Structures are given as structure tokens and as C-alpha cells.
């Protein structure tokens, strides 16, 4: 863990008035007593740095600082050090104590915003005083994210992590390849794209186009057919394709028509890795086999498209899941940015491929589900499970396949 060069770690600074609970919060985030805490204002003098592996962001450095309302000559020197830290962090946590958000914090927020440093306001000590509604409204108007916690009681620490994750600059999140790492130059890839009523007029959808682009970037050869032409295309080829990628809707037919010697997967499974944490989504898929009649399932879409009579997310997946569970399920559909804060009523979350979402948006959703102990998977994996072919479609991702099998057997990581 400590091998990541310091410059590449995301630097997260904790700022605020003395005694607001900065050190208590840092210790809570890390889960260790690193920074000294006391009820004496001015306990932290020099900045305290702690490298840490903050799932799911990765390597970070937390920097606890001296209160920015320090007094006297020494206080001035301490504040100078804190201001130096203020200039070099990637994200700032502005910690507000029981006295609430005042001109002091406002100045800090203004400075950070003028520097274009992402920030989160932490209303700490919620056990003593709730944040003023006007302060919350004002921050909302300014587009500043705020979280209410009690660092002492360890309440709300996951929400701080989630907010940090949202604010993390995108370049700190490594973007995996869509398909390029599964193929070598010269390999042939066969794409199977059904053209049904749900297909957009005159074009292909983004995951298909992105896959084609990645095949070209890999100096490989792409060929595209509808599911009906797959068998005859395969017999006409003199060398076998390295990989067959199909739309989830035709996965059963394509699995049957593709010889076992050829790897096959779906566009949505490629998207599970490209846009999310594939291992966790595969684990979430394992929970499908435990669904019981009467369970509640959340279907989450990131775009608000017009739904069709036989819509995949709203009609087909709920129908297949009910068949699989052997009885009725309570299915809620949420579209766009509407992703519930509280996922605990759900036995399963099934998220769409997220072609219009950023990787970070998807990871934040997964993180929320994980913190709340709710299994989450995506459309493609869920469809492969209910069609009985997830083992086949995960063949080229052995770690994900293992994660799925372990979760299905009810084993932890
Ligand atoms: N009730 C309550 N007390 C808290 C909370 N968080 C911190 N405290 C207490 O507030 C006091 C100050 O906490 P610190 O974490 O040392 O605050 P700090 O911002 O690091 O203070 P300086 O280092 O002096 O700037 C301690 O007595 C903590 O136990 C909280 O959520 N609720
Ligand atoms: Mg301190």
C-alpha cells in the first residue's frame, strides 16, 4: 500500500476552527487514534499526515491541521502552516463544531472555492446541536455538499467517505479498458446486436459503439451480425473468433450457438467492469439465487428514457426475477439521479449498465449499497443469471466468476 508515490495519492485536508472535531474525525475515518484529541482548543499544532487506503477511492493522505482561528504569535505561525496545507490539498473537509457555520467557515469555503478545491462541509457534533436549517439551505444554494455527523459517536462516517468519493477528481479513478485487454492485435471479435423494437432508429447504442472503437484501438478485427446470422457467420469464418460479445437480450441463443471453445460475454458485462466494480457486481448477482417471494428489489436506471411495452428494466427483468424467485417480488423503479439514500428495505439492487453515467457515479452507488449491506448487480449480470448462463459469460473474468460463486454459496470475501 505504501508504495504509491505520495504525489499520486489524493490529499484530503481537514480544516476548521479549533475544537470543531477535526482530529476526532480523522481518527474515525482511519479507524485508528493517530491525531491527538482533547477538549483543549489548539491541541493539533503541526499538520498531521496519514497515508491511508480509503476504499473505494484508493490511496489517499489525510492531513489534520491546526485550527484556523488560533491566537497569539505561535497561533499565527500554526495558521500559516495550515494555510500552506489549504493550498495543496485535492479535497477539503470543512469541519464545523457545535457553534455552527459562521463567517469564519464562510471565508474558508470562499477561499477553497476560489482555488477550485472540491470541498465538503461537515456539520460535526450532531449529538450536541443539529445544523441550522438556514446554513444547510445556503450551502445547497451555493452547490456545496454538506454532511451531518457525530465523529465522537462514529455516526455518519460512511456518508463522509461517500461524499469524499463524489468529490474526488476523476483522474484519480483508473478507467479500465472496455475490451482491449481481453484481445490481442489481429484477433477477431464477433459482435451480436439484435435489431428489435427497442433498438434506436438508425444507430447503435453507446456500449456497442465504444466496444467497436476499442477493438479498432487494439488493432483487432471486428465483425457484426444479428443473432440470426451468428451460426452462419461462424461456419463461414476460417479462423475462430477470440471472443463473441452479444446484447444481453439474446444471451441464451448466443450461448447456445457459440462453440464452447470460443469465449463469450455481453456488452453489459463489459460495462460492469468499465463503469463499475465488477467483482462486487458479480457478488451482487450471487444474491439473486437467495431472492424469496415478497422481497423488495430496486431497479435503478441512470437515464430517463421512454419505456417501451416490453422494457428491459421495467418489464423483462422484474418478470424474470419473479420467475426465478418463484413468486411475487415488490419491484421499485428509480430513474435518473433518483437513487435512494436508504437502500436497506431492498434485498437486491439491479442497476442498468450506466452508459450515460460516469464511472464515479456508478461506484458511489455501489459504495452506498455496500455500506448498507445491500447486494447490487447490473442488468447484464442479472439477465445472465436468470437465463442460467452467467458462468459462461464470466469465463473471461475468472475473479468475477469466483466472486459470484462464493456469494451464491453465501460465503464472504
Ligand atoms: N459531543 C461531541 N464531541 C465531540 C465530537 N467530535 C469531537 N468532539 C470533542 O470535541 C473536542 C475537540 O475535539 P478534537 O478532535 O480535538 O478537535 P480539533 O478540531 O482537532 O481541535 P484542535 O486540534 O484543537 O483544533 C474533544 O473533546 C472531542 O472529544 C462529536 O461529534 N460530539
Ligand atoms: Mg486537532
pLDDT one digit per residue (tens) for the chain, 413 residues:
445 666 668 899 999 999 999 999 999 999 999 999 999 998 988 899 999 988 777 889 999 999 888 777 777 878 788 888 888 899 999 999 999 999 989 999 999 998 889 999 999 999 999 999 999 999 999 999 999 999 999 999 999 999 998 898 876 666 678 999 999 999 999 999 999 877 788 889 888 999 999 999 999 999 999 999 999 999 999 989 999 999 999 999 999 999 999 999 999 999 999 988 999 999 999 999 999 999 999 999 887 665 555 677 788 899 999 999 999 999 999 988 788 989 999 999 999 887 778 788 888 899 899 999 999 999 999 999 999 999 999 999 999 999 999 998 887 66
Q: Does the C-beta of 45 come closer than 6 Å to ligand 1?
A: no
Nearest CA to ligand 1 atom 25: 18
Q: What is the pLDDT of residue 1?
A: 42
Taking the CA of 70 as reference, the closest ligand is 1
Whether 170 lines ligand 1, by a CB cut-off of 6 Å, is no
CB neighbour list of residue 221: distance below 8 Å, 6 or more residues apart? 186, 187, 188, 189, 215
Q: 352: closest CA among 206, 153, 221, 235?
A: 206
Q: Order of strands across the sheet with 221-225?
A: 221-225, 188-192, 243-246, 263-266
How far apart are alpha carbons 401 and 180 in whole angstroms?
Answer: 20
Atom 32 of ligand 1, residue of closest alpha carbon? 125
Does the Cβ of 128 fall within 6 Å of ligand 1? Answer: yes
> pLDDT at position 2, please?
46
Main-chain phi, psi angles of 197, to 5 degrees: -60, -30
- Tell me, using a 6 A CB cutoff, whether residue 258 lines ligand 1: no
Q: Which of 258, 255, 251, 243 is CA-nearest to residue 191?
A: 243
CA–CA separation, 57 vs 161, rounded Å? 9
List the residue whose alpha carbon is closest to atom 26 of ligand 1. Answer: 39
Q: Which domains does the chain have, with CATH numbers?
A: 6-172 (3.40.50.300), 180-269 (3.40.50.11420), 277-408 (3.40.50.11410)
This prediction's pTM: 0.75
Range list of H helices, 59-205: 72-88, 103-114, 133-142, 157-167
Assess contact for 122 and 96: CB atoms under 8 A. yes
> Does the Cβ of 184 fall within 6 Å of ligand 1?
no
Cα gap 380→184, rounded to integer Å? 25
Amino acid at each position: 500500500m505504501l508504495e504509491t508515490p505520495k504525489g499520486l495519492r489524493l490529499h484530503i485536508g481537514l480544516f476548521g476552527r479549533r475544537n470543531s472535531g477535526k482530529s476526532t474525525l480523522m481518527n474515525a475515518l482511519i479507524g485508528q487514534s493517530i491525531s491527538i484529541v482533547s477538549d483543549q482548543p489548539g491541541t493539533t499544532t503541526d499538520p498531521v499526515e496519514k497515508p491511508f487506503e480509503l476504499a473505494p477511492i484508493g490511496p489517499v493522505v489525510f492531513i489534520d491541521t491546526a485550527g484556523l482561528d488560533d491566537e497569539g504569535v505561535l497561533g499565527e505561525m500554526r495558521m500559516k502552516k495550515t494555510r500552506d496545507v489549504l493550498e495543496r490539498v485535492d479535497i477539503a473537509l470543512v469541519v464545523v463544531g457545535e457553534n455552527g457555520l459562521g463567517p469564519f467557515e464562510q471565508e474558508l469555503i470562499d477561499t477553497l472555492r476560489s482555488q477550485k478545491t472540491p470541498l465538503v462541509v461537515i456539520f460535526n457534533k450532531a449529538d450536541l446541536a443539529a445544523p441550522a436549517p438556514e446554513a444547510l439551505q445556503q450551502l445547497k444554494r451555493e452547490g456545496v455538499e454538506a454532511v451531518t455527523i457525530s465523529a465522537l459517536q462514529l455516526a455518519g462516517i460512511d456518508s463522509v467517505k461517500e461524499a469524499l468519493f463524489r468529490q474526488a477528481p476523476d483522474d484519480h479513478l483508473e478507467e479500465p479498458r472496455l475490451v482491449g485487454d481481453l484481445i490481442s492485435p489481429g484477433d477477431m471479435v464477433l459482435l451480436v446486436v439484435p435489431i428489435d423494437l427497442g433498438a434506436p432508429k438508425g444507430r447503435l447504442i453507446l456500449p456497442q459503439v465504444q466496444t467497436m472503437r476499442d477493438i479498432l484501438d487494439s488493432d483487432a478485427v471486428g465483425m457484426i451480425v444479428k443473432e440470426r446470422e451468428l451460426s452462419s457467420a461462424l461456419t463461414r469464418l476460417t479462423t475462430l473468433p477470440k471472443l463473441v460479445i452479444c446484447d444481453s437480450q439474446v444471451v441464451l441463443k448466443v450461448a447456445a450457438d457459440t462453440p464452447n471453445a470460443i469465449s463469450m460475454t455481453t456488452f453489459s458485462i463489459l460495462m460492469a467492469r468499465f463503469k463499475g466494480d465488477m467483482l462486487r457486481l458479480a457478488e451482487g448477482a450471487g444474491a439473486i439465487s437467495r431472492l424469496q417471494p415478497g422481497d423488495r428489489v430496486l431497479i435503478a436506471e441512470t437515464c430517463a428514457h421512454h419505456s417501451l411495452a416490453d422494457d428491459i428494466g421495467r418489464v423483462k427483468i422484474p418478470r424474470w426475477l419473479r420467475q426465478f424467485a418463484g413468486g411475487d417480488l415488490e419491484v421499485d423503479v428509480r430513474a435518473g439521479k433518483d437513487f435512494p439514500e436508504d437502500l436497506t428495505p431492498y434485498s437486491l439492487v439491479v442497476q442498468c449498465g450506466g452508459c450515460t453515467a460516469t464511472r464515479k457515479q456508478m461506484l458511489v452507488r455501489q459504495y452506498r449499497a455496500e455500506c448498507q449491506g445491500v447486494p447490487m448487480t447490473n442488468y447484464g449480470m442479472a439477465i445472465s443469471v436468470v437465463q442460467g448462463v452467467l458462468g459462461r459469460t464470466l469465463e473471461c473474468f475468472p475473479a468475477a466468476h469466483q466472486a459470484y460463486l462464493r456469494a451464491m454459496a453465501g460465503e464472504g470475501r
